[in-house]
């Protein structure tokens, strides 16, 4: 499936602000600075659809994007950023939780992990949480271009052990810089999404 059209719809902080289009949604979640904005821009072939920042923790709202006129991509705030106050972190946590629990349109969640680092406690919690609520989960290891194939294999092992992944759970390796993993991820996103 190719993305031919992508446009920003709305930013929201609470359920009453979510768009009411009835379209199936795919949410993107991950630690601050994991490359979420760059990944969405790469998937949609739009360099500036999502603002990319050098400062982690910039996404503070839930951003909805209309894709091909019939789906929505949902960019959730990054978690685990240390330089944010405890109160702010709790607010983000509540915002993410409300969306994940109360959104009937949500069909799949793309969990982004930085391939260079062992998944954090926040990553483990998010993975378990998504599984608990029964959403289809797509695991993406970003920044693939930063490692050799040998290092990627080692990193995969660490991710699998840390998250206790089943053998049949796939990890998609992705590089926004080199546009690697794009087709595989698009295929996973749009498979049975209708």
**Beta carbons within 8 Å of 37's beta carbon, 6+ residues apart:** 50, 51, 52, 53, 59, 75
Give the closest residue to 34 by CA, choosing from 76, 84, 73.
76
What the chain holds in terms of domains, given with CATH numbers, is 6-15+22-190 (3.40.50.300)
Look at residue 87 in the predicted model and tell me its pLDDT.
Answer: 74
C-alpha 64/C-alpha 38 separation (Å) is 15
Question: Is pLDDT above 70 for 193?
Answer: yes
Look at residue 1 in the predicted model and tell me its pLDDT.
Answer: 80
Averaged over 114-136, what is the pLDDT?
Answer: 93
- The kind and range of the H/E element at 57 are none
What is the signed CA dihedral for 128, 130, 131, 132, rounded to 10 degrees?
80
Question: Is pLDDT above 60 for 59?
Answer: no
In SS3 terms, 62-86 reads as EEEEEECCCEEEEECCCECCCCCCH
The model carries a pTM of 0.92
Q: What is the pLDDT of residues 173-191, one digit of tens each?
A: 999 999 999 999 999 999 9
For residue 127, give both structure tokens: 């993975």
């Amino acid at each position: 499936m190719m993305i031919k059209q992508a446009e920003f719809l709305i930013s929201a902080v609470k359920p009453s602000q979510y768009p009411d289009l009835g379209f199936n949604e795919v949410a993107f979640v991950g630690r601050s600075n994991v490359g979420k904005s760059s990944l969405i821009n790469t998937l949609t072939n739009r360099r500036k659809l999502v603002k990319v920042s050098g400062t982690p923790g910039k996404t503070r709202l839930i951003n909805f994007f209309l894709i091909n006129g019939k789906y929505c991509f949902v960019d959730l705030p990054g978690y685990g950023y240390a330089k944010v106050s405890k109160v702010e972190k709790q607010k983000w946590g509540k915002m993410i939780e409300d969306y994940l629990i109360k959104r009937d349109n949500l069909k799949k969640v793309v969990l982004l992990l930085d391939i260079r680092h062992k998944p954090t406690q926040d990553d483990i919690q998010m993975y378990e949480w998504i599984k608990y609520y029964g959403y289809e989960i797509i695991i993406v290891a970003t920044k693939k271009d930063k490692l050799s194939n040998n290092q990627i294999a080692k990193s995969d092992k660490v991710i699998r052990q840390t998250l206790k992944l089943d053998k049949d759970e796939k990890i998609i390796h992705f590089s926004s810089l080199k546009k690697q993993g794009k087709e595989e991820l698009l295929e996973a996103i749009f498979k049975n999404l209708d």
